[in-house]
Structure 1
Amino acid sequence: MADSAQVPELVYLVTGGCGFLGERIVRMLLEREPRLRELRVFDLHLSSWLEELKTDDSYVCFPAHTQGTGHVQVTAIQGDVTQAHEVVAAVAGSHVVIHTAGLVDVFGKASPKTIHQVNVQGTQNVIDACVQTGTQFLVYTSSMEVVGPNVKSHPFYRGNEETPYEAVHRHPYPCSKALAEQLVLEANGRKVNGGLPLVTCALRPTGIYGEGHQIMRDFYHQGLRFGGRLFRAIPASVEHGRVYVGNVAWMHVLVARELEQRAALMGGQVYFCYDKSPYKSYEDFNMEFLGPCGLRLIGTHPLLPYWLLVLLAALNALLQWLLRPLVLYTPMLNPYTLAVANTTFTVSTNKAQRHFGYKPLFSWEESRARTIHWVRAIEGSA
C-alpha cells in the first residue's frame, strides 16, 4: 500500500473481531501495522477485553507499533453480518476489510438455514458493502474444509492449492464456506463506488489451535471427567495439518498489507494457511498440549472398531434430528466429524511465501509452549 511512514492513514475493519481468530488479528494489527489510523472491531457479541482498551464511550487509543507515530483509534461496533445496513455502516470509510466473521458449527448447534445466513448471506453483505462504499480491498477467512476432507474419505497428502481433489460436501458448514469463498473470489475485479476494482483473496487455514481454542478446552474437560484419561478413537496413522492461531493472524496481516501493491498477482487467489506444526492425528496432536497438563491417551489402537463408530455417529445424527424440537443434542461424534477425523489431510504449500513473503511468525516450539501455558491456566482456574 502507499507509503505513509509519517502519518498513519489507513482504516481497517475486522468482522468477527472478538472471535477466537478475530481477536488475534486485531491484536496483531495493533502490534504490527504502523500505518493504522483507525481499527474497527465488528462483532455480534463484543468481548470484555475490548473494555480494557476503552478510554471513553466510543473509542480507545492504543499505542501504534514502534515503527509508527501517534495512536490508533479502536472503534468497537456491535453488529450482525446478516443485517446489510449494519455492515454498510461499519464498512463505510474503511480501506481494508478482513472478513473473519462466520459460524463454525460441525456439531449441529445451529440450523442449516442459520449457518447459510451467517456464512453465505453475511459474506455477500460484506462484498456489497465494499462495492457500495468504495472500499477496495477484502481479505476473507475461508477454511481448508472448502476443499476437504470430502465425504468419500479420500486422503489429501501434502497437497497445495493446485492439487487435484474431489471436493464433495454434504454438511452445512463446509457447503456454506465453499459458497462464501466462491462469492469472494468471483467478486475480484468488480467495480466499487468510484470506479476502482475490488481486490479480494481468501485464506484457507488448516485446523487452528492455540490459546482460547474451545474444542481443545472441551477435550481437556472431558479428560478430567474420565480421571485424566482420553481413549484413542482414531488410528495414529491418520495425519492432519494444524496451524497456530498466531500464524494465521500474521498471514492475514501480511495479505492485507500487500494486497494493493500486488493486486495483479494476489487478486482472486486462495492460499492455504499452515506453519511448521507437526503432522499427526487429531488426538496425538492434542496430546502435545494435554499430555504435559496431566492427561493420558489410552491405547495404541482405536478402542472401538471403525464400523461401530460409523453406527454410533449415525445414531447420534438420528437422535439429534429426533430431539431437535425438544432439546439441543450436539454430540462431538457425528458422520461428518468422524469422516474428517479419520481422513488424512495435510498441506504443504509455498504459494503464500512466493506471493507475499509469508513465513511463520511463531515457531512450533513457541506455539506449543504458549498453548500448554494456556491449558495450565484453565487447570488453575478450575
Structure 2
Amino acid sequence: MRDFQERVPIKEFIVDIVEEDELDEPLENATIVFHMAARTMDLGMYTKPKRYMEDNFQGTKQLVFSMIDKRVKWMVNTSDAFSTLTCSDSRGASENTAKTVTNENFTLGPYAKSKFYAERWLSCSSARTFSRGKEVKVVTVRPTILYGEGDNWLVPYYLQFCTQHGTLSAINKANGPMSITYAGNCAYMHLLAAEHLMQKPDVLDGEVFNCTDETVAVNFYSYIEPFARNAGCKLRNLDLPYSAVFVLYAVVEWFFLFLFYAFGVRYDHLMMNSHAFGMVNYSTLTATSSKARLVLDYKPVYEPQEAMERTIKWWKDKRNAIGPD
C-alpha cells in the first residue's frame, strides 16, 4: 500500500474567551478543550491588575459555561506550578503545597491570584455541574517556567533589555534556583493528561499535576546567559546586598507609578515590576512532578541538552530572519 502522511484539518479562531458569543463556533463539534488561554504575568512596571481576574478567572468560568452549552465534556487546564505561593520560596513544591491560601499576598502578584482562583474553581466539581447532570470533567497541568521555541515571555523581554542596554546586570549570589521546563515536554504531559482523563474520568476529575522535566534547576542568570550571549549581550555581576537593592528598586517603582496614576506620565523604560524583580533576583522556585510520573506514566520525551539546543537554534534562526538591529 502507498504511504500517506497523516493530515488533520485545522481551523484557526482568534477569540476572547470572556465573550460568550465568540466561543460558539470554535466549540462546535469539539471533543476536548486544552485551556491554555491566559493573561501571562506582566513583567513590566505598568500592569493592569484587574485584567488578570477578568481574563484568567472570569474567562475560565465563561469557557466552562460555553462548553456545557455545546456539550463538550473534557478539559485539560493549564495553570502554574508557583501560583499558590504567598511571599515564600518553593523548594520542591508538590501539588499539595499551599492548597488553601489564607494570605493573599502572592509571590507572583495578581497574576498568581487569578490563576489560583481559576484552578480552585475548576477543582470543585459542584462549580462545574449544572442542571440535568451536565458537567465538564477537568484535569489541570501546572508547568513551571517554560522555555522553548515560540517563547514570547521571559527570554524575549530580557533580550529586548539586552539589546537596548548592551549588558544585563545580576545581583551577585542573590537569586536561588528555579525549575524550568521545556515546552515540548509540557505539551506531551497535556496529551497524557487528556488520554487518562477520558479513560478514567471519575478518578482524575479535578486532579492537579505539576509539570517539570530533567532540566537542572539553575538561577535565572545562568538560564538566560546562553540566549543573551547569542544576542551579543554581556552579563555583569553586581556585588550588592539584595535587600538594599530591592528597597531602592521599590522606591523607584513607587515614584514611576505615582507619576503614572497621578499625572498620566508614562516612561517607556524596561524596568520590571517588583514581583518580577524578586522572582528573577531572589526567589527559589522549584517543583516536583512525581505525581504525574506515577499516575500519568509521564516521562519527558526531550532530554535537556536536546531541548536547549533546539531552543537556541530557534532563537538564532529568528534573529537571522529579522536581521541586525
Bucket of the pairwise TM-score, normalised by the shorter protein = 0.7 to 0.9
Higher RCO (C-alpha under 8 Å, 6+ residues apart): 2
The Cα of 1:207 is off from its aligned counterpart by: 0.7
**2-side partners of 1:274 and 1:245: how far apart?**
10
Change in Cα spacing, 1:123 to 1:188, as seen in structure 2 (3 Å) is: same
2:289 aligned to which of 325, 349, 361: 349
**2-side partners of 1:309 and 1:141: how far apart?**
31
Say which SS state the counterpart of residue 75 (structure 1) adopts: coil
Say which SS state the counterpart of residue 301 (structure 2) adopts: coil
Say which SS state the counterpart of residue 76 (structure 1) adopts: coil
2:60 aligned to which of 112, 123, 140: 123
**2-side partners of 1:124 and 1:143: how far apart?**
17
Q: Which amino acid aligns with 2:91?
A: Y
Change in Cα spacing, 1:197 to 1:81, as seen in structure 2 (3 Å) is: closer
TM-score computed with the length of structure 1 as normaliser: 0.73
Residue in 1 aligned with 2:26?
90
**2-side partners of 1:91 and 1:354: how far apart?**
32
1:369 aligned to which of 309, 312, 318: 309
**1-side partners of 2:98 and 2:160: how far apart?**
39
**1-side partners of 2:41 and 2:269: how far apart?**
10
1:339 aligned to which of 278, 292, 306: 278
Residue in 1 aligned with 2:94?
160
**2-side partners of 1:84 and 1:302: how far apart?**
52
Residue in 1 aligned with 2:73?
136
Share of identical aligned residues, percent?
23
1:272 aligned to which of 186, 210, 219: 210
**2-side partners of 1:113 and 1:236: how far apart?**
31
Higher helix share: 2
The Cα of 1:159 is off from its aligned counterpart by: 2.4
Residue in 1 aligned with 2:228?
290
Residue in 1 aligned with 2:177?
239
Q: Deviations over 1:222-263 (max 9, x none)?
A: 334444x32212636611101111111111122122211122
Report the aligned-residue RMSD.
2.7
User: Do 2:40 and 2:111's aligned partners in 1 also have CA atoms closer than 8 Å?
Assistant: yes
Change in Cα spacing, 1:109 to 1:263, as seen in structure 2 (3 Å) is: farther
Change in Cα spacing, 1:159 to 1:145, as seen in structure 2 (3 Å) is: closer
**2-side partners of 1:351 and 1:358: how far apart?**
9
Say which SS state the counterpart of residue 103 (structure 1) adopts: coil
The Cα of 1:306 is off from its aligned counterpart by: 3.0
Residue in 2 aligned with 1:281?
219
Q: Which amino acid aligns with 2:283?
A: T
**1-side partners of 2:116 and 2:98: how far apart?**
16
Change in Cα spacing, 1:218 to 1:365, as seen in structure 2 (3 Å) is: same
**Unmatched runs of 5 consecutive residues or more in structure 2:** none
Change in Cα spacing, 1:125 to 1:249, as seen in structure 2 (3 Å) is: same
Residue in 1 aligned with 2:161?
222
Q: Report whether the alignment pairs 1:78 with 2:14.
A: yes
**2-side partners of 1:147 and 1:253: how far apart?**
24
The Cα of 1:347 is off from its aligned counterpart by: 0.8
Say which SS state the counterpart of residue 158 (structure 1) adopts: strand
Deviation larger for 212-221 or 244-253: 212-221
TM-score computed with the length of structure 2 as normaliser: 0.85
1:181 aligned to which of 111, 114, 119: 119
Residue in 2 aligned with 1:58?
none
**2-side partners of 1:73 and 1:288: how far apart?**
37
**2-side partners of 1:234 and 1:262: how far apart?**
49
User: Do 1:109 and 1:328's aligned partners in 2 also have CA atoms closer than 8 Å?
Assistant: no
The Cα of 1:201 is off from its aligned counterpart by: 1.4
The Cα of 1:335 is off from its aligned counterpart by: 1.9
Query: How many residues of Structure 1 are paired with residues of Structure 2 in the alignment?
Result: 310
Say which SS state the counterpart of residue 73 (structure 1) adopts: coil
Change in Cα spacing, 1:157 to 1:269, as seen in structure 2 (3 Å) is: same
Q: Which amino acid aligns with 1:337?
A: A
Q: Deviations over 1:86-138 (max 9, x none)?
A: 12332232110111111113335552222221111110111111222211101
